[in-house]
Chains A and B, each alone.
Chain A
Amino acid sequence: MFQEFWQKFELNFIADNRWQYLTNGLAVTLRVTFFAVLMGLFLGFAVAMIRNAHEHTGRFKILNALCSLYLTVIRGTPVLVQLLLIYFAVFASVRVDKAFTAILAFGINSGAYQAEIFRSGIQSLPKGQFEAGRSLGFTYFQTMTTIIMPQAIRNVIPTLCNEFIVLLKETSVASYIALEDLTKGGDIIRSRTFDPFMPLMAVALIYLAIVMVLTYGVKKLEQRLAKASH
């Protein structure tokens, strides 16, 4: 039985250097996730700031309406549909890098969720923090930058990290546009060796291992933040 396992292992991973489908795929997955997260951070932060400023000061009416539209559309439609739309419709007539398309789609998608995370972080603070800042004479923006955001960001770091973990797994749907990420890598091996179990199992295990490591890291981070804060 062990011999049979070894034969399959050799066929799927060793022969023709097929393991490289997995390592190269993993590199693509990590790269896409990383840049999508980064893009989502910027988008999410900006959207949260605009929405909050509008709520408090009444300014940025048009921008705020755009942000609301963005949140509604992105959170109301499947990420796969968004990815396909961007790849086949928006970039229909131009040849663009698939990884770039994926980063764009997942970044835009993640931004909507991160915006809500930032907003909940702001809203979870007692109203008195904001009022204390304003009562000292700080403007709305000074209050946000010196008093509210340092606390809000610290509060949402664990939740943001979890969003990154979710996104890592979500990028697997990029196989739909034939991006050769980790999932696609396993699938290519399957199509070569006609053995679905081992390569896809390997893919699953790799995702699982990364997620477990990241989850552990988030837990440690949470404990450190809890200890450091008040």
Chain B
Amino acid sequence: MAETLIRVEHLHKRFGDNVVLKDISVEIGKGDVVCVVGPSGGGKSTFLRCLNRLEEPSGGHIYFDGVDICDKKTNIDLHRQHMGMVFQQFNLFPHMTVMKNLTTAPMKLQKKSQEEAERYAYELLEKVGLRDRASDYPSALSGGQQQRIAIVRALCMQPEVMLFDEPTSALDPEMVGEVLNVMRDLARDKMTMIVVTHEMGFAREVANRVMFLDDGEFVEEGPPDVFFAQPKSERLKSFLGKVL
């Protein structure tokens, strides 16, 4: 495995009495494309959101670039600048144009000049085929376009890892493809990606590791060909039987 980027040790998460994540340990290497699959309510999203502490873990450690980001003394805002996140609901800022959505964070947080930030934003917009929408407001865009912009917004911060929280689940079926294509390109460019998804086809094709998270536990993981063709545990077998 390549150099480790994220190391999760004994991660626990409870909401009140409800235990959502039970003792999860995993390592994610640079350039890994990890798809996290499993039944709804199994803790997939919570796991992802713990990685940049949008959810506060109840226990355990998460090392990002060797720094324990669960340590209260760690400045999480600084680390989040290097962890891009894409949400199910896009969450573009509706009061800003597409370009402002893309450049606000790099200019404020990385002190880039407007010119520099815009140049990079245009470059990425070009890649996702939305260069001509820079001056539009998000509401003028389709769901698929909004999600592509949301991916670009995260990329504008030049993150080391991209976290995707069910990025295609809120999309109309005909728009899923355009978003997955962008993610596929990203994987090809060796971006480290952790993707919570229900798109088994995408996981099979693009991921180099697939993880099965059920009932708060990592049950099984493997490269996609093994994961899908020769599931070991009964739980994964029954899950795959339902979704494939």
Contact = CB atoms under 8 A, between A and B. Distances in A.
A129 B153 CA distance: 13
Contact of B80 (A134, A147, A151, A229): A134
The interface residues of chain A, by DSSP majority, are classed as helix
A65 to B, nearest CB: 23
Contacts, number: 64
A132 B109 contact: no
Interface residues of A, number: 20
B139 A230 contact: yes
B157 interface: yes
B205 to A, nearest CB: 27
Interface stretch (B19-27, B86-94, B195-203): B86-94
Interface in A32-73: none
Contacts of A142: 108-109
A223 to B, nearest CB: 17
B54 A129 contact: no
Given A137-B109, A230-B137, A132 B81 contact: no
Given A128-B89, A142-B108, A146-B108, A135 B80 contact: yes
B213 interface: no
A135 B92 CA distance: 12
A154 interface: yes
B104 interface: yes
Contacts of B153: 136
Given A135-B52, A136-B80, A150 B109 contact: no
B242 interface: no
Given A126-B89, A128-B87, A131-B87, A137 B95 contact: no
Contact of B105 (A138, A154, A230): A138
A150 B139 CA distance: 17
A139 interface: yes
Contacts of B151: none
In the A-B complex, list the 9 residue pairs whose CB atoms are closest, starting with the nearest.
A230-B139, A137-B81, A132-B91, A128-B91, A135-B85, A136-B105, A137-B80, A230-B94, A128-B89
Interface of A: 126, 128-129, 131-139, 142, 146-147, 150-151, 154, 229-230
